[in-house]
A and B are shown apart, each in its own frame.
Chain A
Amino acid sequence: MANPQLNSGNPRVDIEYRRKKSAEEMRHQVVSFALMIFLTLIAFAAVAMKGFSAWFIVPFIILLAIVQVIFQLYYFMHMSHKGHEAPSLFLYSGVLVGAVTVLAFSTIIWW
């Protein structure tokens, strides 16, 4: 059976193209890794400095965590690629249920 990705009729040309594509993807992944390290550093530094109030720091580091996780999901776990509609549905359904649980446990329930 013919390889569905090789469609120019010349396998060498397609391999060149694919190698270039994956090298480009690798570059994006290295950039997102650098950004993730950077965000982690900011979060740790913000807490280590002790100069800010908890009302500012807590939402700030949670925001940094969410941005970092988006990089992880879309670049490292390839969710930015085509064919990830079902994975997005599964993941975001999980996130929705999870968010409601966290919200309930941290606001409505107390001891």
Chain B
Amino acid sequence: MHAEEKLTYETWPAEPEKSTLEAKNKFLGFWFFLGGETVLFASLFATYLALKDKVPDSSHTLAKDLYDLPLTFVATMLLLTSSLTSVYAMYHMKNFNAKKMNIWLVLTLLLGLGFLGLEIYEFSHYVHEYHHTFTSSAFGSAFYTLVGFHGAHVAFGLLWITTLIVRNAKRGLDLYNAPKFYVASLYWHFIDVVWVFIFTVVYLMGMVG
């Protein structure tokens, strides 16, 4: 089986994401990248934990008074649901249904966009209402680096998936682009994995004190 081969519903392999040598390499390389991302985010979490509430004087707002549970909850639900919609997209990819895959990917993008919108609102709220900025304290720097890095990953994922959809809109599915979609969905799930720790360690533990 080679990448450009025209396949049908009957000849589509069970694991299109690993059916060519290029796909196998891509799959392995991407997981290697995710291992590295784990270390990257873990060190940002470690920095945040060490610098949480480290502010120069009492005029600065601390985590407990800063965070807003309902907002975080809505953002969490959006991102968690977008993880499920991308699972649906990969289900249709495996069934050789490019159209349905695209529909679910667009849904994923919309949910991701909603999440990003909430995060931008949240940051601007902190800056304007609490003067909690990147340079206001060590706490601010650590917070915006960790959560902002995750937000940047979401933004990158949105651009990536959009590009894949546009680029392959008329091409349909083949063994050249199926691994690309698969790897993008792995990336999207990984963003959700990181968010689970962010909402737990940053927001929920921040509220506990």
Residues of A within 8 A of B (CB): 1, 3-5, 11-12, 15, 18-19, 22, 25-26, 29-30, 33, 36-37, 40, 43-44, 47-48, 54, 57-58, 61-62, 64-65, 68-69, 72-73, 76-77, 83, 86-87, 90-91, 93-95, 97-99, 101-102, 104-106, 109-111
Contacts and interface: CB of A to CB of B under 8 A. Distances in A.
Given A5-B13, A72-B83, A90-B31, A19 B196 contact: no
Nearest to B190: A77
A48 B204 CA distance: 9
Interface in B71-108: 73, 76-77, 80, 83-84, 87-88, 91, 94-95
A87 B37 CA distance: 13
A29 B87 contact: yes
Interface residues of B, number: 55
Contacts, number: 139
Nearest to A97: B39
Interface stretch (B43-51, B110-118, B128-136, B161-169): B43-51
Interface of B: 1, 9-11, 13-15, 18, 27-28, 31-32, 34-39, 41-43, 45-47, 49-51, 54, 69, 73, 76-77, 80, 83-84, 87-88, 91, 94-95, 186, 189-190, 192-193, 196-197, 199-201, 204-205, 207-209
Nearest to B205: A58
Contacts of A69: 193, 196-197
17 contacts: A1-B1, A5-B15, A26-B88, A33-B87, A40-B76, A40-B77, A43-B204, A47-B69, A65-B197, A72-B189, A76-B87, A93-B35, A95-B42, A97-B39, A102-B45, A106-B49, A106-B50
Chain B CB within 10 Å — which of A22, A86, A97, A105 has the most?
A: A105
Contact of A109 (B9, B38, B50, B186): B50
B42 A98 contact: yes
B43 A98 contact: yes
B18 A94 contact: no
Nearest to A29: B87
A95 B1 contact: no
10 closest cross-chain pairs (CB), A and B: A98-B42, A94-B38, A105-B46, A90-B35, A87-B31, A94-B35, A5-B14, A65-B200, A105-B50, A102-B46
